[in-house]
Structure 1
Amino acid sequence: MMMRFPRKFALIAGLAFAFGGTVYALPAAAQVSVGIGINVAPPAPRFERMPPPRRGYVWAPGYWQWNPGWHRHVWVAGRWMRVHPGYRYRPARWVRGPRGHWHFHPGRWDR
């Protein structure tokens, strides 16, 4: 049971993120890191076998998301996203700041 709960959370978090839509409507300058920095580095990315290409879609790879309630990272699986003509998708990523804190930058569409 303990192993299923994080997977279920990752699925719910991924769906909430995918259908939230507000991240993609913001200009690039407004899409800075989410929340405050954390001192825990994200684990190495998991290997995900990318499904065969789908016309009109781009693959958004999975990423680690910080869960403050559990004090650890949880995996959000990759997914297909409909192409936005004239835009390029930039995957979610973690960046280490000058003071050693890690900051999450969600995936976004750039012109």
Structure 2
Amino acid sequence: MSYEKKGYDRVAKEFGQVVNMSADELRDWLTTDESRSVGWTRKGESESVGHQSGRRIVDILGKDPSDLSDADYDHMNKVVGYCRRHLAQRPGRNVASSRWRYSLMNWGHDPLKGRGELDD
């Protein structure tokens, strides 16, 4: 997908709103058993899609915005969509140790931080 300036700006803004973990926080999280315990894994692979996404987010967060590619923006847009869908499915209780939270954290969003609601 090719983005025009307005599209880049929108995706960057939404990504910045929803990804509330720093690159270091996310990198550390991805080393935990909890991080590896959640998510869907494609046939023939050993790492979940969300865990792969987390590694990609760490890479994106480490880049200068002027160095982001269309593929980076595509992934950033995918992250926003995933987080929007899953934030709408918040469980009633026990959020702190829920698979729901762990999955979102693989995608760079810790719902216990309280930030990450997207503007319409």
Q: Which has the higher strand share?
A: 1
With the length of structure 2 as denominator, give the TM-score of the two structures: 0.25
Does 1 or 2 have the higher relative contact order (CA < 8 Å, sep 6+)? Answer: 2
Q: Which has the higher helix share?
A: 2
With the length of structure 1 as denominator, give the TM-score of the two structures: 0.26
